Amino acid sequence: MRRHTYVVATALLLVISVAAGLYSYSSTKFERTLIMQPYSIPEDCDFSQVVARGFGRAGRGHFSENVCTPIIHDLKFVGIVINAPKVVHFITTSTEDGENAIPVSGLIRHDLGTFIGGKNELNLAETIVFVVKDTRTNDVWHGKIPGPQNLVPKPKPKDGNERKLTPEEMKGRILGEVFNPNLFDITSLQLRETEYLVYATVGPYKSNVVTIKTIKDKD
């Protein structure tokens, strides 16, 4: 009886040890996965706060961080990241008076040496192209955030001289900007009940793809 009890206890200890080892490995792997992610996207954030700020002329939007702005964890990250509501309700397909809003919150980070080829300034707001595809009809719309100009400040040369920087000098200088346009206005898409795939692109960068489902409410 004692021998049987000893065998059972030993087996239980073995099972516990294996489980603990697997948990430790799983936790470590999970932590490494988190560390490897250069950014995170706030899911289920309150986009009504973005809409409340308004979009101004032609859906240009504002250029400040908010609860829906993607979060950068790796300061060396370059590219575009966007966030959008999973579901958008609308009442009418009218394009007048800003009655409908499909907000997109995102950011762009780029290396000046590889992105603008030695130029000292760049209008980010008028460069990013937003692409929208209706998954049911395959219709596609494109649009950019309209002006006014929003030039990136001119970086100073390392030697202090007032001259244009070479691509080599600009390499490694990462500049970024956040944006919050109204996708409905800047792309002039046909609003209907469907699902849209959305991404943003500029130069060598293409953002993640988000899916937005639109639902028409009763008038």
Q: What is the pLDDT of residues 101-140, one digit of tens each?
A: 899 999 999 887 765 544 444 556 568 999 999 999 999 9
- Which tokens in the block code for residue 196? 């849209």
Q: Where are the domains of the chain?
A: 1-36, 39-216
Report pLDDT for 97: 47
Binned at pLDDT 50, 70 and 90, residue 174 comes out as confident
Angle CA(85)–CA(86)–CA(90) in degrees, nearest 5? 75
- The verdict on pTM exceeding 0.85 is no
CA dist 188 → 31, 96, 182 (Å) = 42, 11, 10
- In the predicted structure, residue 38 carries a pLDDT above the cut 70: yes
What whole-number percentage of the chain has pLDDT above 90? 41
Is 197 buried (19+), middle (13-18) or exposed (0-12) by CB count in 10 A? middle
CA distance 17 to 36: 28
What whole-number percentage of the chain has pLDDT above 70? 64
Report pLDDT for 150: 45
Q: What is the mean pLDDT of the chain?
A: 78
Binned at pLDDT 50, 70 and 90, residue 17 comes out as low
CA distance 65 to 79: 17
- In the predicted structure, residue 22 carries a pLDDT above the cut 60: no
* pLDDT tens per residue across span 61-108: 888 999 999 999 999 999 999 999 999 998 766 555 456 889 999 999
